[in-house]
A = this chain, B = another copy of it.
């Protein structure tokens, strides 16, 4: 009858988490009430506590579900010792752009939570996860510099902020980035056909200009 039917059989928990992820991304943790989440998911309010213990339990379950894919993708790139630094960087960019754009709701939710300056167990946990991601990227850059593949006078740490920040800006401020870029960045078709390839080529070109150009950047 309704759109939840096909999921009921497979996994109701996953359906709840899918809906909760969207609502949290839309309204923030405190802004999303348990009544709204359960209503959107077409389940009784008590089911949230029955399944996940509490509202925070729902929130954490969303994270645990996404972390698995995070880790596996990271290792596959880090252990790829066959290619040079520039190729590794390209692979990293490609998989990262795909992953973030595909799970943009989750990343909006994540970034909103981590932007709270007060330290909590959750922010600590998120920080650890994200830092693993950062270190893989930094290792690639550092190795490239050691091998002479990349310029020596670069700032690898701020380059991290640029890569992740550029992505965050597009994903986290869709109202603005859609205006800037010229089409709705939240639209699935636009994401696959336009945004992803454009973002990939842009980031590669930006990185190349900064990392491997021979010109003296010190004037």
Contacts and interface: CB of A to CB of B under 8 A. Distances in A.
B210 A206 contact: yes
Contact of A30 (B28, B166, B173, B202): B28
B111 A117 contact: no
B217 A208 contact: yes
Interface stretch (A12-20, A87-95, A155-163): A155-163
A64 interface: no
Contacts of A199: 158
Interface residues of A, number: 60
A161 B169 contact: yes
A162 to B, nearest CB: 5
A146 interface: no
A25 B174 contact: no
B206 A162 contact: yes
A25 B117 contact: yes
Contact of A213 (B127, B155, B169, B209): B209
B170 A165 contact: yes
A198 interface: yes
A118 interface: yes
Contacts of A165: 162, 164-170
Interface of A: 25-31, 108, 111-112, 114-119, 123-124, 127, 130-131, 134, 138, 155, 157-162, 164-170, 172-177, 179-182, 186, 198-199, 202, 205-206, 208-210, 213-215, 217
Given A115-B172, A159-B206, A209-B215, 10 more contacts: A25-B117, A29-B31, A31-B116, A112-B115, A115-B173, A127-B179, A161-B170, A162-B166, A213-B213, A215-B215
20 contacts: A26-B118, A27-B118, A28-B30, A29-B31, A111-B172, A114-B173, A117-B174, A123-B175, A130-B176, A158-B166, A158-B181, A158-B202, A161-B170, A161-B177, A162-B206, A165-B168, A166-B166, A205-B210, A209-B213, A210-B210
